[in-house]
Every structure is written in structure tokens, then in C-alpha cells.
Amino acid sequence: MKKISILSQRNNYSIVISKNLFKKKSFFYPLIYTRNIVVITDTNIARLYLKKIKSFFLKLCFKYQHIILSSGEHKKSFNTVKKIISILLKHQCNRNTILIAIGGGVIGDLSGFVASIYQRGIPIIQIPTTLLSQVDSSIGGKTGINHLFGKNMIGSFYHPIAVGIDPTFLYTLPKKEIFSGLSEVIKYGITLNLKFFYWLEKNIKKIINLETKTLQNCIYKCCKLKSEIISKDIYDLKTRMILNFGHTYGHAIENFVGYGNWSHGQAISAGMMISIYLSKYFSNIDNFTIKRIQNILIKAKLPIHGPKNMSPEDYINLIKYDKKQNDIDSGFTEIIIRSIGKSTIKKNIETSFIRSAIQQCHIQN
């Protein structure tokens, strides 16, 4: 079992990485003792694990309920929030209730948002079950639902009281979800840590094949890198913005094609490549470096360009709504790669550079 501490202004909490988490009473019991719990999960997790999860929690707590949602990005909506809150009220859930989100990024984001607004805030434990949520979305307290104009436009910063990561959940995950999660894994290497990028180049196949030791090391390294950034910038105002590398264009792709038609990881992979071509205008990044990044994305079965029918103007019209863009009249704000493992925030980027980077990405790939 490995443990990482997160320091936040609201509360300090731990990320625990352990096989067979639902046999670890020592993790859950101090957190849920005397509390009523509500598990929020999706139909896929319920089909595979709910019987075992329910039995485990009934031995630990006084009162247990669960809410099962269908899977998919479309569930991140006000309608779903209203449905969950109505169920909580029907069961007379009070501030002594704790939510336990068991699922991927959709379940985590949605449950976190509900926890942040229900009766002005109730505790939540995040149990991520996909690679993407284990290395990224469950960590850092970002919650949210989608809007017509963009992804996660409605949300809050609301940290869980704990994150429990069990890599064995990944053994029942479709392989395409492993590939999707690898985009966020690779992002850490590109933006923050050259040695980690080297390590990924050597070990990407082992991760894809879910080799236990390599997989656990990968998850731990990602969580450690993100926790260090979060502790410095909880509210995504400065350094933490670097973790949004590729997301400006990735979110635009998801919106353009319709949520769920491209996985989040696929969209972010294509978005990262646009950001890399943009970086050429403001740094010394060379074609050899670009090729290395392309190669590792290709090995991870990820795209290196966006949809062929998505024009530069389609991107530009959508990225205006990106949360990093505070002053469009003065130009765009983007994450720029100076070299692998080194990145910075660049402001006041003219639209012509954005357009050219998108065109280059499509032409070159």
C-alpha cells in the first residue's frame, strides 16, 4: 500500500493506492464511522462489483444506500444532479451522510459536485475505477457538469476526505479505456518530468498489458506529480494551469463531435499535439522532440490530430469559452512546452498563431 498526502486549504487528505481496497477496513472505517453512506456508481461497476461493495459497507456502517446511474458523459447534467439530490432528500440524508463515488471521471465529477452543494456541503470519498480517473480526475477537488457551450463549465473546487485507488479495477476495464487514460499519464511526462517521460517510453507496453508492478508505479508517479502541483495552487490560478495542457483543444473536440463520440483521452491527445505545434512559435522545441511525443501517443493507440471535418474556425469559436481565457481581446492563454518535462503559461497569443498550429497539426499528421 502506498500513501500520498494532499495539502489543501479546506482539509488535508490522503491518496491511498492499494490492491483489494474493499478488504481494507483500516482505510474506510476511520472515515465512515458513525456516518450514513450513499454509494454513487454506474451500471458497469454495479454489474461487476456492487454485491461485494454493499456487503463490505453493511458490515461497517449503520445505514447504507446506493444510487446507480447509466454511464456516459451525457450524465454530467443538471437533470442528473437534480435526480441524485431528490434521492438523497427522499432518504432523509443529512449532513452526517457521506457520499462514496465509485466509478470513472463522470461519476467522480458529478458526485463531487453534488457533495459540494447538498446542504452546503457533505463529505465525499473518491474511489476511481478507470486509469484516467485514478491518475487525474479524482485528485485535486475539481468537480463539474457540462453545459451546451463547454465541458465542466458548471462546478466547484471541493476536495474529498480521501481518495482510494485500487489498480485491480483496471483488469475489467475495456482496453480502449486504458488507452484513453494514457493520454493523461503521458501529459505528466511532457509537461512536468523528463525522467518520467523516458520511463514511459520504456514501459508503455507493460502499462497497456496491466503488468502489476509497472502499473502501480505508473499510478503512484502520476498521483505524486499532481499532488505536488495541487499543494502549490489549489484553485488552478497559476502553476496548476499547466495540468490543462492540451485540454483547451481537447474540450473543443469533445464539444464539436458530441460528448462520448471521442473519449476524453482521445480528445486530449489530439489537443496536446496542437499545443505542441503552437509551442514551436514560442520555444526551441524541434521536430525530433515532436516525433518522440507522436510516437509514444501512437504506441498508446491515441490520435495525433483532431477530426478531419473540424476546421480551425470551429476550434477558435469553441476555445473562447475555455476557462483559462480571461481576456480574449488581448489574445489567448495557452500552455507551452519549452522541452519535454518543461512547460510554461503563455498569455496574449494572437489568433493567427492558434490557427496556424491547428493547420500544421492536420497537415503534418
Q: Which three cell numbers stand for residue 216?
A: 502501480
Residues 163 and 211 in one domain: no
Ligand-binding site membership of 3 (annotated): no
332 plus 243 within the same structural domain: yes
Q: Is 149 annotated as a binding residue?
A: no
The residue out of 121, 154, 172 marking a domain boundary is 172
User: Same domain for 7 and 133?
Assistant: yes
- Identify the CA nearest to 297 among candidates 206, 194, 192, 179: 179
Domain boundary among 129, 156, 172: 172
275 in the same domain as 142: no
114 known member of a binding site? no
Question: Is 142 assigned to a binding site?
Answer: yes
167 and 237 within one domain: no
Q: What is the 3-state secondary structure (H, E, C) of the chain?
A: CEEEEECCCCCCEEEEECCCHHHCHHHHHHHHCCCEEEEEEEHHHHHHHHHHHHHHHHCCCCCEEEEEECCCHHHCCHHHHHHHHHHHHHCCCCCCEEEEEEECHHHHHHHHHHHHHHHHCCCEEEEECCHHHHHHHCCCCEEEEEECCEEEEEEEECCCCEEEECHHHHHHCCHHHHHHHHHHHHHHHHHCCHHHHHHHHHHHHHHHCCCHHHHHHHHHHHHHHHHHHHHHCCCCCCHHHHHHCCHHHHHHHHHHHCECCECHHHHHHHHHHHHHHHHCCCCCCCHHHHHHHHHHHHHCCCCCCCCCCCCHHHHHHHHCCCCCCCCHHHCEEEEEEEECCEEEEEEEECHHHHHHHHHHHHHHC
Q: What is the pLDDT of residue 10?
A: 64
Say if residue 18 carries a ligand binding annotation.
Answer: no
Asked if residue 2 belongs to a known ligand binding site, the reply is: no
Number of domains in the chain: 2
Same domain? 137 vs 192 = no
Same domain (yes/no): 355, 240:
yes
Range of the domain at 276: 175-364
| pLDDT tens column, 48-84 | 999 999 999 998 876 899 999 999 999 999 999 999 9
CATH number at residue 225: 1.20.1090.10
**Does the annotation flag 34 for ligand binding?**
no
**The three-state (H, E, C) secondary structure of 293-330, written as one string:** HHHHHHHCCCCCCCCCCCCHHHHHHHHCCCCCCCCHHH
Listed residue (70, 219, 236) closest to 152, CA to CA:
236
Annotated binding-site residue? 76: yes
Contact 346, 336 (CB under 8 A): yes
List the CATH number of the domain containing 76: 3.40.50.1970
Task: Tell me if 169 is assigned to a ligand binding site.
Answer: yes
Domain-ending residue, one of 119, 154, 172:
172
> Would the annotation count 80 as a binding residue?
no
pLDDT at 248: 95
Handedness of CA 316, 320, 323, 327 (dihedral sign): positive
User: Predicted confidence band at 329 (pLDDT cuts at 50, 70, 90)?
Assistant: confident
236 to 221, 324, 353: CA distances (angstroms): 21, 9, 25
Q: Binding residue per annotation — 331?
A: no
159 labeled part of a ligand binding site: no
Q: What is the pTM of this model?
A: 0.95
Residue 323 annotated as binding site: no
pLDDT tens digits for 166-222?
999 999 999 999 999 999 999 999 999 999 999 999 999 999 999 999 999 999 999
Q: What are phi and psi of 2, to 5 degrees?
A: -120, 150
179 and 168 in one domain? no
CA dist 75 and 354 (Å) reads 31
73 is in an annotated binding site: yes
Return all residues near 155 (Cβ < 8 A) that are at least 6 apart: 109, 113, 142, 143, 144, 145
The residue whose grid cell reads 454530467 is 76
Tell me: is residue 257 an annotated ligand-binding position: no
105 is in an annotated binding site: yes
Please check whether residues 293 and 343 belong to one and the same domain. Answer: yes
Q: Which residue has the cell 483521452?
A: 265
129 assigned to a ligand binding site: yes
Statement to judge: residues 49 and 149 lie in one domain? yes
Same domain, 190 and 316: yes
Residues 224 and 168 in one domain: no
pLDDT single digits (tens) 235-286:
888 999 999 999 999 999 999 999 989 999 999 999 999 999 999 999 989 9
